[in-house]
A and B are shown apart, each in its own frame.
Chain A
Amino acid sequence: KAGVTQTPRYLIKTRGQQVTLSCSPISGHRSVSWYQQTPGQGLQFLFEYFSETQRNKGNFPGRFSGRQFSNSRSEMNVSTLELGDSALYLCASTTDYPGADTQYFGPGTRLTVL
């Protein structure tokens, strides 16, 4: 099976812009979770989608949003970018519940906000 794929791999934006990141889960996986990883904060949970519905949400402002399509592919959007949004954004997929079974991660999208 192909692993989790994320596009683009690298992105450079300026403050105030918006960005959309894409994630394709492993075939058959219906749960997709998004994480933000920074050197100072480690892995922080953004949100999780299952069957096109947001099932869990982390403590991030409303500028961070996401969605999931019927084929389980997911996108996340960050509007009005701030310098502090520079990070590695990771997507992970699993069959059902992230806490109950193995999550497999993609390579991440490195976002730099100038």
Chain B
Amino acid sequence: ETGVTQTPRHLVMGMTNKKSLKCEQHLGHNAMYWYKQSAKKPLELMFVYSLEERVENNSVPSRFSPECPNSSHLFLHLHTLQPEDSALYLCASSQAADSGTEAFFGQGTRLTVV
């Protein structure tokens, strides 16, 4: 496999559930990101990891919890979500987090909270 892969592609969860989104990059990049994409709104940066350390946390509610066990894998743990959290969650990676390097995106996980 090449590029950035995300699983699952689709997820429906209740507000009391706990689930995790997974992202894996095969590009040898040092930075990984989580974005939220809602209809008709800009992509919202949620978290940035550089060399497995979190370097940016954009005031995201604590019901979203990221984990970066190594430079190739990124998780987003979800618990007690709200219906307004329904969106497309995109993972991306880039060579470095602190320079103008191209980001490669995964296909995203379409999350529906019921």
Query: Do A and B bind?
Result: no
